[in-house]
């Protein structure tokens, strides 16, 4: 970077000297100067002064503003962090809906769309091609040239006000550059610009390294990290996350004098926004295909994630003519990239023992970056799968991310196999407890059936403490692992015999600098005991789920409790009675029946009873309250960003009103609730004609018990 602080300056020395005597003028000049350099740096990627010189301008401005607080203005570059920090993000209704995009999953589908467009207009109109940035959508409102609001997409109709956080993003102009005002039809009016907030790959990697070092869960990908960072309660945290934006749309194009998408991008650049430089105006289908292929080839070289290419009809007038479907514009299409694939070395195949004793082979890979995150392990599911794919230790394997989230080993590159690589075999003994493993007839799974297996104990204990079960906050892998290793815990009833002093002294298996053992400590111990005590109040259905009976998930546990509301009734039930419960098949019924007939389990149940854990549905079926939704079945999909509820919490609230909540969409589904980034369930609902509710509709429904009028 250039180190001459004066180069590129808008002011000469004489002007500067004169302005110091007039603080208001000097402040304004400094603001313009800083904005100008921010624009050169972020929007044009062509800085003309050094970071040090830039900081010096900022320091002078800050000092002057401190001396003259009456001159502080919210659009000053010093004011990026500030404003009120609310506990809750307020809802923002989008006056112009924030649409999603229709997808083309391959070049043939893209051609199909272009043919339809060409047919509609008699000839293929010019098409603007842009990279599809994998981030979180944002809407920025400017009034009289000043940034007054930033909102997330939410469900497209209503988003969240994240202004204080977005102001901290350095490339978002707090005011539009005056040079661009002449491009507006009403310079004093309101204009809403839209684009994507994203997290550059490097910042994402840094953030996850820091999370790991602090024992926190890493973000799955930069998209989630960007969305999560936008929704921080403290803008200073957002500021530290190093977010960026690419802006590419206007809510209502009548606000601008230009009549094309291409002109809009030019105007956005002029106004100071960060606009992606990788854009192309194409006039033939062949050019569009080439752009897509080039983007795919260069995808990995970009410093940020993209998941496709967006192709847009360039002329606004033609866009208006093409119009919208209920979900997306008909004048644009997203060409989606296939899931990213990489090759890497399969260093080893290890075996993990789950809570029901199933042995799962796991691929230990030389770490490789795939679709935005580092992959070092991937499940191989079972022995059949290892043999079907014929992967061997030492192989070079192809790895991809299914749904761009879960890593998957596709198979080996046979030509690169070392000569001595042997087919992999399942161990004959449990890697955790050393007892012989068994494979039951007709089952693919190999399992350890020892009741004293520490690996199974650990998984069972963690499952009991997990959020959907007894929700014992703080009981994670490290602490429970230590309690198992030290022989203090082996079954779930042991949670209730832990005492605070004993926990405080728990040796964490690490030593401090002076060589003394690190102990859990009083504060953490008190927190854990409080969480354990609270868990005694959890409803019986969660206890049943928490017991980890084979095939009994959360929904099945609830269905069972609605028919057998106490553990006594459940113990007394035979397999035939259990099969009669909705959602319970013969396998599940056998699992439950066997569970309650195993002496060790009966003992655990008795100890849980003595500890005061809830073993009967005390709500006497939630049927006491009004049940306006009785007889209706709901499916929840996407994330509920507006209310901050998890899907589980929303499901519980619906059930309290008498509704059933199911995990999959069928003709019997009454309503699908679609949150942000809803996926295949929404598509299925649309194809079956199942009515779809937005998160807003859901909130109204929960508050009033009323469904929206027929849509």
| The only residue of 38, 137, 457, 556 in contact with ligand AMP, by rule CB under 6 A | 137
- ∠ at Cα 187 (186, 192), nearest 5°? 80
User: Shortest Cβ distance from residue 248 to ligand AMP (Å)?
Assistant: 5
248 binds ligand AMP (CB under 6 A): yes
For ligand AMP, the closer of residues 315 and 494 by Cβ is: 315
For ligand AMP, the closer of residues 77 and 156 by Cβ is: 156
For ligand AMP, the closer of residues 248 and 495 by Cβ is: 248
168 binds ligand AMP (CB under 6 A): no
For ligand AMP, the closer of residues 327 and 609 by Cβ is: 327
Secondary structure of 287-339 in HEC code, one letter for each residue: HHHHHHHHHHHHHHHCCCCEEEEEEEECEHHHHHHHCECCCCECCEEEEECCC
- Conformation bin of residue 563: beta by default, left when phi > 0, alpha when psi is -120 to 50: alpha
For ligand AMP, the closer of residues 385 and 686 by Cβ is: 686
| The only residue of 27, 117, 127, 133 in contact with ligand AMP, by rule CB under 6 A | 133
Question: What residue is closest to ligand AMP based on CB?
Answer: 137
Integer Rg of the chain from CA: 30
Q: What are phi and psi of 685, to 5 degrees?
A: -60, -45
132 binds ligand AMP (CB under 6 A): yes
CA distances from 367 to 208, 342, 362, 405, 633 (A): 15, 11, 14, 16, 44
Number of residues in the chain:
711
For ligand AMP, the closer of residues 133 and 544 by Cβ is: 133
Nearest to 149 by CA among 134, 137, 133, 165: 165
245 binds ligand AMP (CB under 6 A): no
User: Which residues within the stretch 190-229 sit at the binding site for ligand AMP (CB under 6 A)?
Assistant: 196
Size of the site for ligand AMP (CB under 6 A): 10
Q: What are phi and psi of 533, to 5 degrees?
A: -60, -40
Nearest to 98 by CA among 151, 148, 176: 151
Q: Answer whether 355's CB lies under 8 Å from 456's CB.
A: yes
What whole-number distance in Å separates Cα of residue 659 and Cα of residue 651?
9
Stretch touching ligand AMP by CB under 6 A, among 108-116, 126-134, 292-300, 532-540: 126-134
User: Which residues within the stretch 65-104 sit at the binding site for ligand AMP (CB under 6 A)?
Assistant: 100-101
User: Shortest Cβ distance from residue 244 to ligand AMP (Å)?
Assistant: 13
Nearest to 235 by CA among 176, 161, 175, 132: 161
User: Shortest Cβ distance from residue 133 to ligand AMP (Å)?
Assistant: 4
Stretch touching ligand AMP by CB under 6 A, among 1-9, 112-120, 131-139, 517-525: 131-139
User: Shortest Cβ distance from residue 260 to ligand AMP (Å)?
Assistant: 15
130 binds ligand AMP (CB under 6 A): yes
For ligand AMP, the closer of residues 309 and 480 by Cβ is: 309
User: Shortest Cβ distance from residue 281 to ligand AMP (Å)?
Assistant: 14
What whole-number distance in Å separates Cα of residue 695 and Cα of residue 311?
29
User: Shortest Cβ distance from residue 661 to ligand AMP (Å)?
Assistant: 25
Active site residue 206: no
User: Shortest Cβ distance from residue 153 to ligand AMP (Å)?
Assistant: 6
User: Shortest Cβ distance from residue 103 to ligand AMP (Å)?
Assistant: 7
Stretch touching ligand AMP by CB under 6 A, among 128-136, 358-366, 417-425, 584-592: 128-136
Tokens representing residue 555 in the block = 């929904």
What whole-number distance in Å separates Cα of residue 521 and Cα of residue 503?
8
Nearest to 57 by CA among 36, 84, 87, 74: 36
Q: Which residues contact 676 (CB under 8 A, 6 or more apart)?
A: 153, 154, 155, 638, 639, 640, 641, 695
For ligand AMP, the closer of residues 16 and 683 by Cβ is: 683
Stretch touching ligand AMP by CB under 6 A, among 132-140, 164-172, 217-225, 699-707: 132-140
For ligand AMP, the closer of residues 248 and 273 by Cβ is: 248
| The only residue of 310, 346, 614, 672 in contact with ligand AMP, by rule CB under 6 A | 310
Nearest to 648 by CA among 485, 538, 529: 538
User: Shortest Cβ distance from residue 502 to ligand AMP (Å)?
Assistant: 50
- The string over 379-388, giving b where at least 16 C-beta atoms fall within 10 Å of a residue's C-beta and e elsewhere, is ebbbbeebee
What whole-number distance in Å separates Cα of residue 355 and Cα of residue 343?
32
- Conformation bin of residue 547: beta by default, left when phi > 0, alpha when psi is -120 to 50: alpha
* Catalytic residue (choose from 132, 239, 660, 681): 132
**Residue 330-349 contact track with ligand AMP, rule CB under 6 A, x = bound:** ----x---------------
Stretch touching ligand AMP by CB under 6 A, among 23-31, 127-135, 448-456, 695-703: 127-135
* Cα 323 from chain centroid (whole Å): 31
For ligand AMP, the closer of residues 158 and 356 by Cβ is: 158
User: Shortest Cβ distance from residue 327 to ligand AMP (Å)?
Assistant: 8
Secondary structure of 224-254 in HEC code, one letter for each residue: HHHHHHHCCCCHHHHHHCCCEEEEEEECCHH
Stretch touching ligand AMP by CB under 6 A, among 129-137, 556-564, 611-619, 620-628: 129-137
Strands 692-693 and 332-336: unpaired
Nearest to 231 by CA among 74, 91, 88, 84: 88
Which residues lie near ligand AMP (CB under 6 A)?
Answer: 100-101, 130, 132-133, 137, 196, 248, 310, 334
Catalytic residues: 132
């Amino acid at each position: 970077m250039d180190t001459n602080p004066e180069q590129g300056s808008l002011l000469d020395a004489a002007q500067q000297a004169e302005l110091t005597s007039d603080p208001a003028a000097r402040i304004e000049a400094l603001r313009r100067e800083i904005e100008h350099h921010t624009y050169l740096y972020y929007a044009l990627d062509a800085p003309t002064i050094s970071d040090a010189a830039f900081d010096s301008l900022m320091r002078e401005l800050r000092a002057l503003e401190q001396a003259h607080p009456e001159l502080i203005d919210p659009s000053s570059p010093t004011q990026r962090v500030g404003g009120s920090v609310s506990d809750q993000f307020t809802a923002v209704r989008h006056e112009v809906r924030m649409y999603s995009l229709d997808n083309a999953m391959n070049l043939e589908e893209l051609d199909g769309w272009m043919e339809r467009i060409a047919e509609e207009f008699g000839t293929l109109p010019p098409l603007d091609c842009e990279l599809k940035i994998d981030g979180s959508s944002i809407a920025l409102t400017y009034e009289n040239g000043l940034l007054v609001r930033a909102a997330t997409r939410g469900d497209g109709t209503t988003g969240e006000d994240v202004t204080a956080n977005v102001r901290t993003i350095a490339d978002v102009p707090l005011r539009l550059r005056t040079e661009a005002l002449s491009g507006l039809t009403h310079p004093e009016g309101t204009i809403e610009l839209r684009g994507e907030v994203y997290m550059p790959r490097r910042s994402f990697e840094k953030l996850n390294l820091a999370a790991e070092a602090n024992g926190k869960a890493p973000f799955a990908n930069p998209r989630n990290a960007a969305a999560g960072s936008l929704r921080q309660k403290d803008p200073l945290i957002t500021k530290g996350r190093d977010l960026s934006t690419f802006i590419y749309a206007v809510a209502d194009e009548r606000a601008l004098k230009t009549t094309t998408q291409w002109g809009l991008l030019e105007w956005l650049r002029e106004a100071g926004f960060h606009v992606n430089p990788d854009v192309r105006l194409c006039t033939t289908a062949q050019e569009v295909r080439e752009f897509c292929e080039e983007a795919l080839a260069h995808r990995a070289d970009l410093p940020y994630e993209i998941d496709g290419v967006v192709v847009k009809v360039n002329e606004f007038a033609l866009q208006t003519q093409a119009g919208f479907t209920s979900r997306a514009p008909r004048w644009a299409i997203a060409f989606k990239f296939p899931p990213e694939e990489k090759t890497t070395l399969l260093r080893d195949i290890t075996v993990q023992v789950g809570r029901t004793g199933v042995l799962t082979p796991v691929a230990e890979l030389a770490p490789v970056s795939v679709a935005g995150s580092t992959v070092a392990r991937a499940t191989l599911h079972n022995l059949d799968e290892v043999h079907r794919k014929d992967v061997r230790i030492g192989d070079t394997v192809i790895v991809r991310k299914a749904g761009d989230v879960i890593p998957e080993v596709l198979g080996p590159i046979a030509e690169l196999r070392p000569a001595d690589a042997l087919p992999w075999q399942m161990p004959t003994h449990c890697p955790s407890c050393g007892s012989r493993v068994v494979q039951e007839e007709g089952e693919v799974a190999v399992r350890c059936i020892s009741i004293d297996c520490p690996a199974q104990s650990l998984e069972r204990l963690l499952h009991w403490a997990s959020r959907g079960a007894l929700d014992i906050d703080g009981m994670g892998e490290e602490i429970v692992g230590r309690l198992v290793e030290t022989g203090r815990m082996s079954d779930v009833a042991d949670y209730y015999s832990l005492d605070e002093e004993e926990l405080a002294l728990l040796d964490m298996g690490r030593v401090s600098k002076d060589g003394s053992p690190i102990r859990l400590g009083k504060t953490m111990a008190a927190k854990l005991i409080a969480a354990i005590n609270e868990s005694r109040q959890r409803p019986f259905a969660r206890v049943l789920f928490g017991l980890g009976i084979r095939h009994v998930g959360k929904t099945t546990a609830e269905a069972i409790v609605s028919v057998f509301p106490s553990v006594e009734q459940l113990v007394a039930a035979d397999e035939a009675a259990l099969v009669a419960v909705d959602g319970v098949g013969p396998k599940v019924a056998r699992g439950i029946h066997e569970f309650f007939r195993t002496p060790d389990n009966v003992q655990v149940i008795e100890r849980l009873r003595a500890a005061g854990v809830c073993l009967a549905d005390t709500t006497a079926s939630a049927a006491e309250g009004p049940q306006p939704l009785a007889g209706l079945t709901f499916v929840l999909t996407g994330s509920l960003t507006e209310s901050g509820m998890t899907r589980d919490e929303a499901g519980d609230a619906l059930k309290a009103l008498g509704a059933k909540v199911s995990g999959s969409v069928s003709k019997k589904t009454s309503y699908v609730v679609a949150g942000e980034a809803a996926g295949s369930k929404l598509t299925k609902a649309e194809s079956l004609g199942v009515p779809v509710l937005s998160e807003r509709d859901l909130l109204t429904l929960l508050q009033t018990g009323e469904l929206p009028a027929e849509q």
